[in-house]
Structure 1
Amino acid sequence: MAEHDAERGYLLDNRQSQAGVRFGALAELFDPVTFRHVDRLGIGPGMRCWEIGAGGPSVPLGLAERVGPTGTVLATDIDVSWMHHVAGGVIEVQTHDVTADPPPPGGFDLVHARLVLVHLADRAEALRTMVRALRPGGRLLLEDADPALQPLLCPDESGPEQRLANRLRSGFRTLMAERGADLSYGRTLPRVLREAGLAGVQADAYFPITSPACAVLEEATVRQIRHRLVEQGLATDEEIDRHLANVAAGRLDLATAPMISASGRRP
């Protein structure tokens, strides 16, 4: 969730205080989807897993439960500050840049990255690193957003509050695109996995239409990027304050971009 191109600067920096809130909301929204796929792929006792761009601890902890004391979970990110407390036992935490560093040695039964590749400038190199890290028969599970498929924060744009929310979300997408994010990347994952030589490719998509966690995620995200929205003339402080008040009051049905989950097996 937090690998990034340091030259461009990741828009949602792990070092900001809101990052932990975002990780918690993302876990509530998407962990059930992630682990449905992990379980479908047969990840179990004794296996080796590599979690890329882990950001928060929830996915490494869930993988550790599945691989048990005889397995291993390697959790990596450029900034691992939110994961130090889970290191130990089967979980190893390392600083790693998937676009620049070689894959960890040993081979993995599962390589997983969630909401990582969409933010990277050199997605192709990152993918090559992930595929090289797989054992024969190992599974790659990529999960990434596709904001262009469903760009609205409020799909039911029923009034001025919803229109304001959608305009601020448009500003967020502008900031992401300026930093090299591919806002249509999620839909390409099945093709990308096939072109990488993986077999048995499957994919689906999920997005909540409204959820308490969506409101938590939106508030934390807007607080992280508000200075950039204002600096670039995408919103005023007054508009941002009004939007945050609408979110806090529960007046909005807030959605997310679709998260597309795609998996394939190394022959």
Structure 2
Amino acid sequence: MASDEGYLLDNRQREAGRRFDALAELFDPWTLAHLDRLGPAEGWRCWEVGAGGPSLPGALAARVGPTGHVLATDIDTSWLDRAGAPGVEVRRHDVTRDDPPAGGFDLVHARLVLVHLPDRAEALRRMAAALRPGGFLVLEDADPALQPLACPDERGPAEQLANHVRRGFRALLADRGVDLSFGRTLPALLRGAGLTDVRAEGYFPVTSPACRELEAATVRQLRTQLTGGGLATEEEIQRHLANLESVELDVTTAPLVTCWGRRPP
């Protein structure tokens, strides 16, 4: 995605792989349904920015076929390298500092990337500049301020604890410069980058096993920061992780805003 400086959820940590799997289960069907509307078709050139894991680059490669090209970039490509998705070129790239890849793209996509970057405007400008005439930019980012709770139905101690831990996570994000209201700004940002036919939709999974798995992996990845910052105790984290093993705990994610626009022909 961008420089490691300030990025809270480091790809090099062991729990990152579990987060990627949960994110793919939760969001890939939604994401691919939107990309398929735009027509990622045989022969397209696609750039997946801040890819993290291999699921979306692999799905795009299957759609563009042998005459197309899929470039997957990240500042840490370890999870992409080990997966070795067929038909995907993997490259280390910092979208806020490095020039856009040459050649132009029919589709540029980034999910849960810009919200973490200190220079979001520059990253968006570079992605928009990489489009061919008529190409699509699709950005998907969270908006935790739209719905900040882990458990909107705070019906008991387990849900109250989940919301307490989620408040700690949000505090860590804000401390790193994450804009917790960023998702809703995407339509205006895409129009400001000169794109047309801008549309946006939101996705809000209320509960599922993948929601609980994502929550558990995130909490495990951040437990040192949560306890070190006085945002949760070790006992609270252990209890929360135990609660997440129960199907009775309905845990959700922040709403995901999917926005797309087209470079004028």
Fold shared by both chains (TM-score > 0.5)? yes
1:159 aligns with 2:152: no
Residue-pair matches, total: 264
Residue of 31, 34, 43 corresponding to 1:37: 34
User: Contact conserved, 1:69 with 1:89, CA < 8 A, in 2?
Assistant: no
After TM superposition, the structure 1 = structure 2 runs for residues 204-243 of structure 1, keeping only pairs within 5 Å, are 204-243=201-240
Following superposition of structure 1 onto structure 2, how do residues 132-211 of structure 1 map, counting pairs within 5 Å? Answer: 132-211=129-208
> Unaligned regions of 5+ residues in structure 2, if any?
none
The one-character-per-residue Cα deviations of 1:11-39 (angstroms, maximum 9, x if unpaired) are: 11111111000000000000011101110
Q: Report the 3-state secondary structure (helix = DSSP H, G, I; strand = E; otherwise coil) of the residue aligned with 1:127.
A: helix
Q: 242-251 or 222-231: which moved more?
A: 242-251
CA positional deviation for 1:87: 4.2
SS of corresponding position for 2:194: coil
**2:110 corresponds to 1:123:** no
Query: Contact 2:107/2:136 (CA < 8 Å) preserved in 1?
Result: yes
Cα deviations by residue, 1:135-184 (Å, 9 ceiling, x for unpaired)? 00000000000000010100101011101100100100000111111110
Deviation by residue 1:176-198 (Cα, 9 ceiling, x = unmatched): 11111111000000111011110
Equivalent in the alignment of 1:24 = 21
Q: Which amino acid aligns with 2:28?
A: D
> Quick check: 1:244 aligned with 2:241?
yes
Cα deviation code 1:212-242 (max 9, x no counterpart): 0001111100000011000000010001111
* Alpha carbons of structure 1 residues 242 and 196: separation in structure 2 relative to 1, 3 Å: same
Is 2:89 the partner of 1:92?
yes
Instruction: Kindly indicate whether the alpha-carbon contact (under 8 Å) linking 1:144 and 1:186 is maintained by their aligned counterparts in 2.
Output: yes
- Name the aligned partner's letter for residue 47 of structure 2: W
Task: Give me the whole-angstrom Cα distance separating, in 2, the residues matched to 1:36 and 1:69.
Answer: 21
Report SS of the residue matched to 2:141.
strand
1:86 to partner: Cα distance: 4.5
1:42 Cα offset (Å): 1.1
SS of match in other structure, 2:259: strand
Counterpart amino acid of residue 68 in structure 2 = G
Q: Do the aligned residues in 1 keep the contact of 2:75 with 2:94 (CA within 8 Å)?
A: yes
In structure 1, C-alpha distance between the alignment counterparts of 2:235 and 2:128, rounded to whole Å: 47
- Aligned-pair identity (%): 66
Match 2:4 to one of 3, 6, 9: 6
- SS of 2:190's equivalent in the other structure is helix
Instruction: Indicate if the aligned counterparts of 1:146 and 1:259 stay in contact, CA closer than 8 A.
Output: yes
Q: After TM superposition, which residue ranges in structure 1, 4 or more long, deviate above 6 angstroms?
A: none
